Amino acid sequence: MVQKEKTLEAPQVDGEPSPSPVSGEACAEAPGPVEESGIGVEPTGHRKFISGVVEGFYGRPWTMEQRKELFRRQQKWGLNTYLYAPKDDYKHRMFWRELYSVEEAEQLMTLIGAAKEHGIEFIYAISPGLDITFSNQKEVSALKRKLDQVSHFGCKSFALLFDDIDHNMCPADKEVFSSFAHAQVSITNEIYQYLGEPETFLFCPTEYCGTFCYPSVSQSPYLHTVGEKLLPGIDVLWTGPKVVSKDITVESIEEVSKILKRAPVIWDNIHANDYDQKRLFLGPYKGRSTELIPRLKGVLTNPNCEFESNFVAIHTLATWYKSNMNGVRKDVVMSRQVPQSGAKSTAIDVSSMAAPSLCSSTTVTTVFQQPIMSPAMPPLCLDPLSHPMVEKKDSDEEPMEMVVEKQDEPEPEAEADPEEKHVGPILADKMAEDLKPMDTDKESLAESKSPEESLQEDSGSDIAPMQTDDQLKQMPQTFDVFVPGPNEKPLFTAEPLTLEDLSLLAELFYLPYEHGPKAMQMLKEFNWLRANSSVVSVNCKRKETEKVAEWQSRAEKFEEMCCSVIHMFTRLSNSANRTILYDLYPYIWDIKSIISMVKSFVQWLGCRSQSSAQFLRGDQEPWAFRGGLAGEFQRLLPIDGANDLFYQPPPSMPTSKIYSIRPYFPKDEVAVYKICKEMYCEGMEDIPFTDDDPDLIGDRLVGGLLTLSSDYGFVLEDDEGICGYALGTVDVKPFIKKCKLSWIPFMQEKYHKPDCEKDLTEAEKMMLSFHEEEEGLPDSFLSNFPSLIKVDIHAKVTDPSVAKSMMGCLLSSLKANGSHGAFCKVRQTDKRMLDFYSKLGCFEVAKMEGFPKDVIIMGRSL
């Protein structure tokens, strides 16, 4: 759909081979043309309505087995078309002239046969627009030769795509064609006639959405040329008002239909996620009135890159289409939610329909059949008896059956809860399927990576663009499969996912222009807690009991919501269905990480913030930015611009290990001292400290901060206890004065000054430092970096994202109270800490007059 480098306004479209004509069952009839749109149709007054899926995104294409599974689902749900157009199959787009190899040809023929077997029309799309010379007959012949080859595979339906290309023609084309549109239409008409005018032939224009039309849809010379010159048997693809359209109205379709002189086929990017690696869309198909159906030639959804995440997107498209497949109904509203804007723009809106797509008992269809866990492990499945809304019947054959009946009832307000009505059939459908094992080899694991990482990895391999079964079998396994013996336990016990987990997951990753209700509630509550934090600030002079109680109550509920996200992450990470997990893991890891940081920050606000806490950002639409919900929470934290701290790639293998970050309390001092000592001595062959002074290292390195600046302290915990800390002070100048008045005298009394005449041990040098005047840093430096920080994590913590979260919490607290820069001191010989702080975005500050000679100063702007 949209290239990653582009903004939301960038599109995508492409297609692939299509098998021989599909059966009558697959070719659902759509109503005749709508008179006011002026669209001509066959004498019968009826035409086939194209409905299905386009694989047209940027990123790793789906596997052959996934496509076959897609055909199975489409057949059950009443969809009839698959358009093959993956942007990163280089023989589809970049190297379109190259013929398929024998091995690739066999795969395509098998795939076309599978589509035909399930009654799915297979459309092969080719995208030559990047570099074709329209006036060169050799180029036209190369295109014909390529499509001839695909025709011999059994494909009868085709598409020519000219999306996402430069509008400028080469000099040779300018001499032959009067415009870019004329060049495209000329070659499209020629190819269409050369192929015998196939029943289904699609054309994707370069101006394929309203925002791309210059100067407008109605006045676009390009679209007018397409409408007037393109042969009437060729259908035109259209994405709506935008590349990713929130709503597609009847009026907008009538407008473009009038210009194109035909009803368009919608290439719908509502669930496409290839333009933002942090976003996934698990919400329903909505924002398209069912009154559009008689005004369209078809609808193809271009869904998420991750195949297993598309159950809801595709199922709800089928539900939408079947609700008005005869074209006689007014708009079918399948929810009690308030319509979007205008009576005609509403459509399906069932927030919890996404849940079943993630049910852990979903069928796992894959080329890898060796189990990763014990075959004896009970399949992870929701108990239908514990959820009355789950109906134990196979309803995926007719997803709209019960909905259509309900629509005719005169009082929809009296109907049962819409969530119960729609979630039940879908969930029951998924629960009825058997869980199949999956092998986690290189190919499967790669699906959990971002498209960019996958492309970088693939670019150096010699695997063909269209992966074949033999090549997949030759891939080495990452690790040996564990099969427990008679007396051995499985690798882990799968903790059952709940319906609430799945509903929450869908609402966290809902749709491009809106979050689900729970996600919106979390954003709203965090905004309120930030805005009203002054009532619980440590320096609030007059604390109003009622307001404090309200803040604390709402903070507690917000923390519960955060915990529900973390618990969902844990249960999903332990799911027996690893296929779905690998597709979802990067996304749930990302949201878990940011929610954990936000939760810690709210805890700090409740007990340590000052009434002067500043939050400089205004309230924008929560769906208006890159990054989805995680990005919204990032922008609400004081350090929203510290992107490096929020970039926390998931581990190569999924883990459910959870760390929590919370404010420091006096009872934590012993544990912090212990970590401080262990990490200071890390790597030393001979520990230069005895047990005579067990607190010496802690007193010297963190004692002052814990005693005099605990308001800016955080600790890291795992299931065994505290394993890290992050400490700081917002302004080092007054902090040093406090140390000289109270902390240093106490230390001088605790540790007597050693005899300087003899060689001192490391411990004695540390004791001596309490009795010597510490060099102060120059004001010119402190004006830019006023805050002192100290962060460390135990060596047993191997998750690199934890340190970033700790630093994020600490810097957020400092910036909220007015700091604009922080620094830390590191011993010149301490390579570990130099590397540690460097990875957290700190840089070595050039030495200035007044800097201590034996330490390195590292800073970070806020």
Instruction: Determine which helix (DSSP H) or strand (DSSP E) holds 317, and give its type and residue range.
Output: helix 311-322
Contact between 596 and 565 under an 8 Å Cβ cutoff? The reply is no
**pLDDT computed for residue 487 by the predictor:** 54
pLDDT tens digits for range 672-700: 999 999 888 876 666 666 677 788 999 99
Give residue 434's pLDDT band: very low, low, confident or very high (50, 70, 90).
Answer: very low
**pLDDT computed for residue 729 by the predictor:** 95
Contact between 50 and 298 under an 8 Å Cβ cutoff? The reply is yes
Structure tokens at 14: 């492409």
Using DSSP, state whether 30 is helix, strand or coil.
strand
Write down how long the chain is. 862
Of the listed ranges 638-652, 724-738, 816-830, the least confidently predicted one is 638-652
Task: Name the pTM for this structure.
Answer: 0.76
**pLDDT computed for residue 464 by the predictor:** 38
**pLDDT computed for residue 383 by the predictor:** 36
Give residue 310's pLDDT band: very low, low, confident or very high (50, 70, 90).
Answer: very high
**pLDDT computed for residue 329 by the predictor:** 58
Is the pLDDT at 363 greater than 70, yes or no? Answer: no
Residue 102 to residue 98: CA distance in whole angstroms? 12
For 70-84, b/e burial (b = at least 16 CB within 10 A) is bbebbbbbbbbbbbb
Residue 635 to residue 712: CA distance in whole angstroms? 21
Per-domain residue ranges for the chain?
50-323, 499-637, 660-861
Contact between 255 and 227 under an 8 Å Cβ cutoff? The reply is no
Residue 125 to residue 92: CA distance in whole angstroms? 7
β-pair partners for 734: none
Please return the burial class of 446, using the count of CB atoms within 10 Å of its CB with bins 0-12, 13-18 and 19+: middle
Closest CA to 567 of 448, 663, 656: 656
Q: What percent of the chain has a predicted confidence (pLDDT) above 70?
A: 71
Using DSSP, state whether 132 is helix, strand or coil.
coil
Place of tokens 């194209």: 50
Is the pLDDT at 350 greater than 50, yes or no? Answer: no
**pLDDT computed for residue 641 by the predictor:** 78
Contact between 582 and 366 under an 8 Å Cβ cutoff? The reply is no
Pairing between β-strand 157-161 and β-strand 714-718 as defined by DSSP bridges: unpaired
**pLDDT computed for residue 737 by the predictor:** 92
Q: How many CA atoms lie within 13 A of 160 on its CB side?
A: 26
**pLDDT computed for residue 413 by the predictor:** 38
Higher pLDDT, 787 or 90: 787
Nearest-5° Cα angle at 453, 11 to 356: 70
- CA-CA distances (angstroms) from residue 685 to 25, 688, 760? 77, 9, 18
Q: Sign of the C-alpha dihedral, residues 736, 741, 742, 743?
A: positive
Listed ranges 294-303, 343-352, 607-616, 812-821; the one with the highest mean pLDDT = 294-303
Please return the burial class of 690, using the count of CB atoms within 10 Å of its CB with bins 0-12, 13-18 and 19+: exposed
**pLDDT computed for residue 90 by the predictor:** 84
Using DSSP, state whether 821 is helix, strand or coil.
strand
Residue 447 to residue 307: CA distance in whole angstroms? 9
Q: Does domain 660-861 have CATH number 3.30.70.420?
A: no
Q: What is the mean pLDDT of the segment spanning 202-229?
A: 96
Structure tokens at 393: 């019947």
**pLDDT computed for residue 344 by the predictor:** 39
**pLDDT computed for residue 110 by the predictor:** 95
Place of tokens 């509630």: 521
**pLDDT computed for residue 687 by the predictor:** 61
Residues taking part in catalysis: 164
- CA-CA distances (angstroms) from residue 511 to 268, 286, 317, 354, 414? 13, 9, 14, 11, 28
Q: What is the mean pLDDT of the segment spanning 334-349?
A: 40
Closest CA to 716 of 788, 667, 643, 663: 663
Q: What is the mean pLDDT of the segment spanning 712-723?
A: 93
Q: Does domain 499-637 have CATH number 1.20.58.240?
A: yes
Structure tokens at 598: 């936000």
Q: What average pLDDT does the chain have?
A: 77
Give residue 128's pLDDT band: very low, low, confident or very high (50, 70, 90).
Answer: very high
**pLDDT computed for residue 645 by the predictor:** 87
**pLDDT computed for residue 732 by the predictor:** 93
Q: What is the mean pLDDT of the segment spanning 190-196?
A: 97
Closest CA to 284 of 317, 237, 244, 307: 317
Closest CA to 351 of 288, 284, 398: 284
Structure tokens at 358: 């993630």
Of the listed ranges 25-39, 139-153, 795-809, the least confidently predicted one is 25-39
Residue 279 to residue 302: CA distance in whole angstroms? 15
Residue 300 to residue 764: CA distance in whole angstroms? 75
Concatenate the DSSP letters of all residues of 347-406 into one string: ----GGGGGGGG-TTS----S--S-SS-TTSPPP---GGG-TT---S--TTSTTHHHHHH
In sequence order, which residues have a C-beta less than 8 Å from that of residue 312 and are 6 or more positions away?
A: 282, 283, 284, 353, 354, 356, 357, 426, 506
Instruction: Determine which helix (DSSP H) or strand (DSSP E) holds 824, and give its type and residue range.
Output: strand 821-827
Structure tokens at 509: 């990753």
**pLDDT computed for residue 494 by the predictor:** 57
Q: Does domain 50-323 have CATH number 3.40.50.300?
A: no
Pairing between β-strand 787-793 and β-strand 721-729 as defined by DSSP bridges: antiparallel
**pLDDT computed for residue 402 by the predictor:** 32
Give residue 465's pLDDT band: very low, low, confident or very high (50, 70, 90).
Answer: very low
**pLDDT computed for residue 395 by the predictor:** 38
pLDDT tens digits for range 377-421: 333 333 333 333 333 334 333 333 333 333 333 433 333 343 333
Closest CA to 51 of 12, 69, 77: 77
Is the pLDDT at 339 greater than 60, yes or no? Answer: no
pLDDT tens digits for range 726-773: 999 999 999 999 999 999 999 999 998 888 777 888 888 888 888 888
**pLDDT computed for residue 686 by the predictor:** 61
Q: What is the mean pLDDT of the segment spanning 779-795?
A: 92
Under DSSP, the state recorded for 675 is: H
Closest CA to 155 of 72, 83, 91: 83
